[in-house]
Structure 1
Amino acid sequence: MRFPLALTAKIAGHILKHKWRGTPKFALVLQLEPLHTCNLTCTGCGRIREYSTSLKDMMSLEDCLAAAQECDAPMVSICGGEPLIYPKIEELVNGLLAQGRIVYICTNGVFMRRKLRDYLAATYTPARETLLQELLAEKLISDKDAETIRQGKKDGKPVIAPTQWLYWNVHIDGLEYTHDLIVEREGVFKECVEAIKMAKRLGFQVATNTTVYRETDVREIEQMFAFFSWLGVDGHTISPGYDYDAAKKDMIQRLGKKPEDFFLTRAMTKEKFARILEWGEKYTIFGTRVYQEFLAGKRELTCTAWAIPTRNIAGWKAPCYLMTDGHYQTYQEMLEKVDWDKYGTVNGVARDPRCENCMVHCGYDPSGALGTNYQPGDNWKNIKYNFGPKPKPDPEGAKVQAFNGASVGKGHLAEARLALKEGKGGKITVQPAGDCGSPDHRQREELLAKMGRKEA
C-alpha cells in the first residue's frame, strides 16, 4: 500500500474516535518548534525575522513533551529553526515515540549525517564492519568518521534510531542549483543527498519537503521527484509558497526583493499544481487526494488550521503556522478564543486579506481528511489513494542531472569566483554546507555589487 498500514490506521483511528465523540475541533498534526535558531537563512522563510528577539531561546524538553500530550495529535512534526540544533533533540524524539506519536524531523539536512554517525557509533559491532566499508566506499563517511564509530559511543546520551514511526523530512526545493540558491548557501543540496543516502542505508524512513515558488520550474520538480524516488525516498510533501507577512518583511528588508516576484498567487498555484494528481499516481505524495484536487483548482476547501496547531517558545501560535495574531498558553484556550470564521477562504473568497493567496498544506490538507467540504466519493478517493499500491522507484531518476550547480562549477557564486580568479574583486568567504552559522552575506554582496548586480 502507498503508506504504512500502522501509520494510516493510527491517524484514521484518531479521526474516527473524535468524529464518534462529536469533537468539533481536534489536532491531527502538532507542528512543534522547540527553537527558532537556524544555520541557514532561506529565501522565503520569515522565521528569523519574526522571532529575531528570541533566537537564543528554546522550549524545555518537558514543555515540548507536555505540548504533545496536551493536544494529543497522533503525529508530531518537529520543525523550527533547525531542530537538529536543539540540544535535547534525541530525548525529544524518543520521548514523543514513547508517547506513541508518529514523528517527523523536519531538517535542512546539514547536520543530519552527524546524528546518523552517532547512531552508528552507539550500535557498532564488528558485524557492522561490512556496512562501514560500504559507507566509506560511497564516501558517505570519512576514514576519521569510521574510526570514531568503531570506538563506540561513550557519552551515554541517547541516539535517533530507525523505527516505522519515524521519518526524516528533508527540505529540498529543487535540484542543486535551485535548492542552493533558495537556502542561500552552496553545497547544501549535495549534503542533503548524501544524508538521505546514508539514512536509507541505515534503515530509516526518509521524506522530502518542497515549497513551490513563482519561478519554480514544474519540469524540475518532476525531475526532483524522479531523482529522489530512484534514491529510495519514502514520500514527498509539497506545498505552494505563500506570501505571509513575516516572509514578505524578510524579503523586502533583508534581500531588497519584491515579494510579488517570488511568491505564488492563488491562480499561479493552480497552474503550478495542475499535474499533481498525476504526480500522486507516479510518486508517493503525502496528503489526501482531496487536497491534491484543491491545489489543482478542481475544487474549493475551507481552512482548518486548528487541526495542525503550532507550539513554540511563545506558546500556541494562532491562527496558523504562518500567520501570527497571538500566542496562547494552552491549546484549548486557543481553540476557544480564536474566531476561526475570520480566516481562510470560502468558495475562493478570502475572509481575511492575508489569506487570499494561501493554499498551504497546514491550513487545507486536514480539510481533505476531515471532510469539511465533503462531496460524494471523497472518502473513497482518499481510501483508494492511501491503500493503493506504493509507486516503485522511478528508473528515469538515474538519468536526472541533479548536480547542476556548485558540483559542476555552475553555482550561484560561479560568477563571483570567476571575478576573483580574474582579479576583479576582493576576498570572498563561502561557508561549506557542513559548517554552523550563517553565510557571510556582506562579503558576497560587496563582491557582487562590484560586478553590477545583487545576489539572486
Structure 2
Amino acid sequence: MARQSFSATVDMVKYLAKNRVKGIKRYPMVLMLEPTELCNLTCTGCGKIRQSPDVLKMRMTAEDCFKAIDECGAPAVSIAGGEPLVHPEIVEIVNGMLERRKLVMLCTNGILLHRVLDKLKPHPNFTFVFHLDGKREHHDKMVERKGVFDIVMKGIKAAKERGFRVATNTTLYKGASAQDTAELLLELMDMGVDNCIVSPAFTYEEVDPSNSDIFLHRKEVHQLVQDIMARCGDRIRFYDTPIYFDFLQGKRELRCTPWAMPNRNPKGWKGPCYLLTDEHYDTFQEMMEKTNWDEFGYGENPRCASCMMHSGYEMAALKALTPSDTWRLVRWFFAS
C-alpha cells in the first residue's frame, strides 16, 4: 500500500473490507501493467527483455490498459515493462488511470523522462518510481550502461522540482554493499524522495546462466537486509510495509500471494504470477480460475525457492497482521 492521498487510502481500505466481508479469499491489490516489454536497457538480471523480437514489438493500446484495470478491479496500478516511457500513449494511459481514481505508479529507468515531464501533471495519486539499484558504479554495472545513475539522479531532482511524488526501486543482487545501499537510501531521503522500495531480485530463468551467480539465496537476503536496516535505522521512508521487512530479515514467515499483483502484458493475463510465465489467458477471471494456486510459493515449487519479491509477499504481509502489527502499520503510514 502506498501512502498517498487520504481519499485514495480510504478507497483502498474500503476495497479490503468489502472483500473480507464477502469472504473472498483471493483478489488483486495492484495491477502490474506492462503495456510494452520493449526497453532501452539490457539490465543483467532482467528476464523481460530476453524475450523473442516478436514479443518485444507487441504493445497494448491505451484502451487495452483501461479494460485491464476495469476487468480486475484492483485499486492500484504499477505501470512497468520494459520501459513504459517508450510507449507512445503513456501519458494517456496514466491520465486514464487517474481518472478512474486509481493509485498510479509509473516505473522508469529515467532515461526518457524528458518525454513526459512537461506533459504529466503532479497528482496526489501519482508517483514516479525510478529504478536505482545502488550507487553509481554498482547501478551502471547492473544496467550495463555507464552514466545511467547520473541520469536517474537528475531525473529525480527534476521531478521533485515540478512537485511530483517520487519513489525509488532498489533491487538487491549479490555484490550489493549494505553500507553503500544504506548510504544511497539516506542520500535519497535528503533529496526529498518520498519513499524507497527495496526488494531482492528474482531468479529469472531467461537470464544468461553465466550470470546466475548474481542472485541472492534466502539466508543471504536475511543477512544483507539486516545489515542495511542496522545502518539506516528508522531514517528511511520505505514504501514496503514493516511486516514485509520482518520477512526479508528472516524474523517471520509469510505465504506467497501471487494473485495479489496480477500481470497484464501485450500477450494477455500472465499466469501464475508477475514473475513466472506458464501461460497467458484472455481474461482475468480465466487466469484466476484455471491457476492452481496451491502449486506455487516457497516449499511448493522449485522456481519459487529463492523468491522474496514484494509482488508476492506484500499482500501476504497485510493478511498476516496481528494487533501489534496494526499499530506498526499506522506508524509506518504516518511516517511520511
Shift of 1:275: 4.6
Q: Does 1:181 align with 2:141?
A: yes
Tell me the residue number matched to 1:332. 285
Give 2:257's aligned residue: 304
Cα deviation digits, residues 257-315 of structure 1 (max 9, x gap): 240x2001111111111156554721111122211100010000001010100000111
Aligned counterpart in structure 2 of residue 200 of structure 1, from 157, 160, 184:
160
- CA–CA separation in structure 2 for the residues paired with 1:282 and 1:8: 23
Aligned partners of 1:241, 1:162: CA distance in 2, in Å? 30
SS in 1 for 2:116: helix
- Residue of structure 1 in register with 2:316 after alignment: 367
Please name the residue that 2:332 is paired with: 385
1:277 touches 1:293 (CA, 8 Å); kept in 2? no
Do structure 1's residue 227 and structure 2's residue 208 form an aligned pair?
no
Report the Cα distance in structure 2 between the residues aligned to 1:175 and 1:243, rounded to whole angstroms.
Answer: 22
For normalisation by structure 1, the TM-score amounts to 0.71
Aligned mate of 1:244, from 204, 208, 212: 204
Q: 1:385 offset after TM fit, Å?
A: 1.9
1:375, distance to aligned residue in structure 2 (A): 4.3
* 1:283 and 2:236 matched: yes
Q: CA deviation at 1:25?
A: 1.1
User: How far did 1:334 drift?
Assistant: 1.0
Letter of the aligned partner of 1:379 in structure 2?
Answer: T
Q: 1:400-428: CA deviations, max 9, x gaps?
A: xxxxxxxxxxxxxxxxxxxxxxxxxxxxx
Question: Aligned-pair distance for 1:51?
Answer: 4.5
Q: How many residues align?
A: 333
Which position in structure 2 is the counterpart of 1:408? none
State the Cα distance separating 1:379 from its structure 2 match: 2.5
* Whole-angstrom distance in 1 between the partners of 2:234 and 2:18: 30
CA distance in 1, matches of 2:305, 2:134: 26
User: Does the CA contact (< 8 Å) of 2:262 and 2:274 recur in 1?
Assistant: yes
Which residue number in structure 1 is paired with residue 171 of structure 2?
211
Match runs of 1:437-448 below 5 Å? none
User: Is the Cα–Cα contact under 8 Å of residues 131 and 169 in structure 2 kept in the other structure?
Assistant: yes
Match of 1:265 in 2: 217
Task: Give the partner amino acid of 1:164.
Answer: P
Amino acid of the structure 2 residue aligned with 1:266: R
Alpha carbons 1:113, 1:198 under 8 Å: kept: no
CA distance in 2, matches of 1:361, 1:280: 21
Which amino acid is 1:363 matched to?
A: G
Superposed CA deviations along residues 25-44 of structure 1, whole A, max 9, x for unmatched, are: 11100000001111000010
> 2: distance between equivalents of 1:230 and 1:294?
27
**What is the deviation of 1:326?**
0.8
Q: Distance in 1 between matches of 2:13 and 2:185?
A: 27
Deviations 1:16-68 (A, max 9, x none): 12112222211100000001111000010011113443111101111111001
Structure 1 runs not aligned, ≥5 long: 120-158, 391-456
Give the direction of change, closer, same or farther, for the CA distance of 1:167–1:280 in structure 2 (3 Å limit). farther
CA–CA distance in 2 between the matches of 1:276 and 1:383?
23
- C-alpha contact (below 8 Å) 1:277/1:292 kept by paired residues: no
Partner Cα distance (1:188, 1:172) in 2:
9
Q: Which residue of 2 aligns with 1:68?
A: 69
Report the residue type matching 2:28 in the other structure: A
Contact 1:36 1:51 (8 Å CA) reproduced:
no
Gaps of 5+ in 2: none
Q: Give the Cα–Cα distance (whole angstroms) in 1 for the partners of residues 214 and 12 of structure 2.
A: 35
The 2-side partners of 1:218 and 1:304 are apart by 28
1:44 pairs with 2:45: yes
User: Match for residue 121 of structure 2?
Assistant: 161
Contact 1:210–1:238 (CA<8 Å) still a contact in 2?
yes
RMSD: 1.6
Separation (CA, whole Å) in 2 of partners of 1:264 and 1:11? 33
Q: Which amino acid aligns with 1:77?
A: S
Aligned equivalents of 2:41, 2:233: Cα separation in 1: 30
Distance 1:235 1:73 in 2: 21
Contact 1:309 1:317 in 2 (8 A): yes
> TM-score, length-normalised on structure 2?
0.95
Query: Given that residues 276 and 292 in structure 1 are in contact (C-alpha distance below 8 angstroms), is that contact kept between their aligned partners in structure 2?
Result: no
Shift of 1:241: 1.3
Percent of aligned positions that are identical? 41
SS in 2 for 1:354: helix
- Distance (whole Å) between structure 2 residues aligned to residue 20 and residue 293 of structure 1: 28
Q: Would the alpha carbon gap of residues 280 and 84 (structure 1) be closer, same or farther in structure 2, given more than 3 Å must change?
A: farther
Q: What amino acid is the match of 2:175?
A: E
**Counterpart contact for 2:38–2:49, Cα < 8 Å:** yes
In the alignment, is the contact (CA less than 8 A) between 1:97 and 1:103 conserved in 2? yes
